[in-house]
Structure 1
Amino acid sequence: MSNTKEAARIWRADAIRRIEADFNRSADTHLIRMELPRYPGITLYLKDESSHPTGSLKHRLARSLFLYALCNGWIGPDTCIIEASSGSTAVSEAYFARMLGLRFIAVVPASTAAPKLDAIRFHGGEIHAVDDPRTVYDVAHRLARETDGHYLDQFTYAERATDWRGNNNIAQSIFAQMAAEAFPIPAWIVCGAGTGGTSATIGRYIAYQRHATRLCVADPVHSVFHRHFADPAMASLPEGCASCIEGIGRPRVEPSFIPSVIDRMMAVEDAASIGAMRSLSRRLGRRVGGSTGTNLVAIARLVEEMAGRDETGSIVSILCDGGERYGCTYYDDNWLEARGIDWRPYETAFSRLFAQ
Structure 2
Amino acid sequence: MASLNFNSTRIKHPITNFSSPTKPTFIELSTNKKFPHKNLRNLKFPPCFSVSESSISSQIVSEEIEDDPTVELSYLDPETDPESITDWEVDFCSRPILDIRGKKIWELVVCDDSLSLQYTKYFPNNVINSVTLKNAIVSICDELGVPLPEKIRFFRSQMQTIITRACNELGAKPVPSKRCLSLVLWLEERYETVYTRHPGFQKGSKPLTSLDNPFPMELPENLYGEKWAFVQLPFSAVREEVSSLETRFAFGTSLDLDLLGIEVGDDTLIPGLAVSSSRAKPLAAWMNGLEVCALEADTTRANVILSVGIATRYIYATYKKTPVTTSEAEAWEAAKKACGGLHFLAVQNDLDSDDCVGFWLLLDLPPPPV
Q: TM-score range by the shorter chain?
A: under 0.3
- Name the one with the larger helix percent: 1
**Taking CA–CA contacts closer than 8 Å with sequence separation of 6 or more, which of the two structures ends up with the larger relative contact order?**
2
Bigger Rg, which one: 2
TM-score under structure 1 normalisation? 0.27
